Structure 1
Amino acid sequence: MSYTQEYLNKCSGLIKRVSEQEKKIKQGAAWFAESIKKGRLVHVFGSGHSRIMVEEMWPRYGSFPGFNPIVELSLTFHNLVVGANGQRQAMFLENVPGFAAQILRNFDLSSLDSALVISSSGCNVVPIEIAEIFQSQGIKTVGIISKNHSEASASKRADGKKLSDFCDLVLDSGAPVGDAMIKISGLETPVSPGSTIGSSMIINSLKAETAALLTEAGFPPKVLTAGAVVGKEKASELFQAAYDEHGHRMAKLYEKNGIESYVSNPKPNNQK
């Protein structure tokens, strides 16, 4: 069997694992749909490589507003690999206690919100603390991890707790310990990870189930759609409407955030 066929066979196993979690996926989608129907947001966070999953949820073709993609560049922009903004710094910052609180300090969170946190190991400090803060605010939180990898890994957090300890629902990408799925003859360590494949399937399953629930409830989402599907004018209309709705939703996260000011709580002109 070729390595290509072996990898594709492994991916078939990931499909099976995701399929086994359909009931849990629908539960997560129900929480997400409730937040979106109420004019609030589903906060989506991932650091390092998990940033891919955040962007897979929104914004891209086939996605719709209702999600707040939290992408912290210091934790995710490491394309230079070494030097300034390199991978070493990102991996270090990913395990700095208190950093998560500084990220979420920017938003006026509500128990009407819900959240999705992605971390294959579920063992890095920032994603764990992000989920912990969400849960402390009464926000229903879904986690995506690799169950096998997480169970075999040690938490970087002092108390040993992992992402799964602060999630109301945990979904498993199905990736193996170490993520890489293919052993090459003559090569000591495996290659070709699987968590991106499994997690992406979960993301898009959640997206589809959420869209169905919103449509059934009379809130059909404004989906970013290619002109090749709906025509140039309709595609442009959908893009503009979706981005505007996203802006309207995001405005609520900043309007009354943090320390009150005369802007956040204006008083009549006759009051000092």
Structure 2
Amino acid sequence: MNVPESAPAVPTAWSPLDVTATRYATRVQDLLGRALTEELPAVRRAAELVARSFAADGIFYVFGSGHSHIFGEEAFYRAGGAVRVCPILKPAHMLHEGAVRSTVLEREHGHAESVLADYRLDGDRDVLLVASNSGANPLPVEVAQAAKARGLPLIAITSRSYASSIERPGPRLHDIADVVVDNHCPPGDALVELGPGLPSAGPSSSVVGLALLDAIIVEALGIQIRRGETPEVFMSANMPGAAEHNGESARRMSDLVPHL
């Protein structure tokens, strides 16, 4: 049979791409399993703080800068997620208004108070989670310190290994937090070596960290059930009754959560 020269190549049983993808999948799966297993006691301690806040009509605030801002968005207004969650979202410290600039700001001192300015942060009722893989940049560290000064319990999702590898003065996030949930990610975050002279690829901190965050929330809701409380949970918008259920929940929270 004559094959036209323009025909796509027939896939073979082996290719470097397949091996690289498999290597990443294996490593991230191992890392995720280890983190979820070894950090379960810390997840439960964090969930106790969150459940206590929920029972007191408090708010679970979630903050991260740069790529870690997705932790706030993951927890917020989420199908199957808790209602009493407020992300701390300031566009200059995210990515969509300038990724390079957000990295510069994350490494500058003095921005924490402006970041927190529009949020209640009641030390008697609320709790804050700060996500920072390196745990060393000034912005997440100073946000954590400012929240602690207001009396809020502080949860961190971070990599102790990464934080300890950075030669820079100053405290690390895991030094400040009341509960530290270690994502076990390596310094630099990436899991796959591509070859001599090339940076490694395959980030791990979002995959692992978001699973740990959702585990904290689910455990907090479970604690509420075990205590005879009724947890508040958003439904997927396409489920029967979701519009009414979610709309009523959003109306109740609108004065406390500015992003609703």
| TM-score, normalised with respect to structure 2 | 0.85
Query: Are the aligned partners of 2:50 and 2:217 in contact in 1 as well (CA < 8 Å)?
Result: no
1:51 corresponding residue in structure 2? 69
Query: Are the aligned partners of 1:40 and 1:249 in contact in 2 as well (CA < 8 Å)?
Result: no
Structure 2 counterparts to residues 13-32 of structure 1, below 5 A:
13-14=30-31, 15-32=33-50
2:20 corresponding residue in structure 1? 3
Which piece of structure 1 moves more, 114-123 or 240-249? 240-249
Return the offset for 1:123: 0.9
Post-superposition CA distance 1:105-154 (Å, at most 9, x none): 33343222111000000111111011001112221100111221111123
Query: Are the aligned partners of 1:66 and 1:249 in contact in 2 as well (CA < 8 Å)?
Result: no
Segments of structure 1 that go 5 or more residues without pairing to the other structure are 79-84, 252-272
Query: Is 1:208 aligned with 2:218?
Result: yes
1:94 corresponding residue in structure 2? 106
For 1:88 and 1:8, how far apart are their aligned partners in 2?
29
Structure 2 counterparts to residues 152-167 of structure 1, below 5 A:
152-155=165-168, 159-167=169-177
Aligned pair partner of 2:181 in 167, 171, 177:
171
For 1:218 and 1:6, how far apart are their aligned partners in 2?
45
Structure 2 residue identity aligned to 1:10: R
Query: Is 1:110 aligned with 2:128?
Result: no
Return the offset for 1:187: 5.6
**Structure 2 SS opposite 1:2:** helix
**Structure 2 SS opposite 1:192:** strand
For 1:198 and 1:227, how far apart are their aligned partners in 2?
26
Return the offset for 1:242: 2.3
Aligned residues: 239
CA-atom RMSD in angstroms: 1.9
Identical counterparts, % of pairs = 25
1:243 corresponding residue in structure 2? 250
Closer/same/farther in 2, CA of residues 223 and 115 from structure 1, 3 Å limit: same
Return the offset for 1:40: 1.4
Which piece of structure 1 moves more, 110-119 or 10-19? 10-19
| TM-score, normalised with respect to structure 1 | 0.82
For 2:72 and 2:120, how far apart are their aligned partners in 1?
20
Query: Is 1:136 aligned with 2:152?
Result: no
